[in-house]
Structure 1
């Protein structure tokens, strides 16, 4: 299953109040993101950048992509080593720093997966599987900042 994979997304600005971008405060940062066959995603800039805090923003989406990619890679890594995962939750966080010139970059992202496994004998392998998942995660391999992991492993009751 090697190869090149292509993705298509349509992004449309929906924040014109009738005067376009005539001034910094004259338009809304609302965006509609559409992928054929999937629910439409209402997005905006983050609140500090004049956006709508009730909508997804690019920073949220990047963090979510890193978290989900690690989760999916991790589940596969666990199957490969015989670890049965019964629950997985992550509380990911990221730090973005503005550069003072209108731009900025993420400094790091920390994933905090809380994983429950079926048997105590699986705990060591479950912890080690995070390293393999990190190597396999397409999104983590595509960013230029560290993606750290602080996993916690528990055993099902």
Structure 2
């Protein structure tokens, strides 16, 4: 890992009547729009879906690191994320991020240890740590 601080950059460009395009160096462009809930067209990534996806992605990548550092074997991971956007004291904001973590581990793996490492993962996730909305984890553990 590189020394801190890390810096990231992205830009968004477009026209009044066309879609907007998000760009970042060395990454593919991503068309973005307002979500349908705010009058945008369906089928585009929005700031809202990108934020919820970032929470899921951060958890998955952090889990991979935590599991490796703790010598935990696992064969499959799926993180389903949902976010609740609401008005609180006249401010529109996310009030909760929910992560359903589906994890497959070898038979005989200690579920309490996995639960503790999932908690450690959530605590180490930089996206969750950067949000004012709380993140809740629902672990679905399977052996296989």
Q: Scaled by the length of structure 1, what TM-score is found?
A: 0.83
User: Does the 8 A contact of 1:67 with 1:90 survive in 2?
Assistant: yes
1:125 paired residue number: 113
Give the RMSD, CA atoms, in angstroms.
1.7
Which structure 2 segments of 5+ residues have no match? none
Post-superposition shift, 1:99? 5.2
2:50 paired residue number: 61
Q: Scaled by the length of structure 2, what TM-score is found?
A: 0.90
Q: In the TM superposition, what are the counterparts of 1:13-28 in structure 2 within 5 Å? A: 13-14=14-15, 16-17=16-17
More strand by share: 2
Which structure 1 segments of 5+ residues have no match? 18-27
Distance 2:5 2:39 in 1: 37
Structure whose alpha-carbon radius of gyration is higher: 1
1:25 paired residue number: none
Q: Give CA-to-partner distance per residue, 1:10-47, whole Å, 9 cap, x none.
A: 11133x23xxxxxxxxxx6x310011211110110011
Structure 1 segments (4+ residues) deviating >3 Å: 98-101
1:149 paired residue number: 137
1:3 paired residue number: 4
Count of residue pairs the alignment pairs up: 143
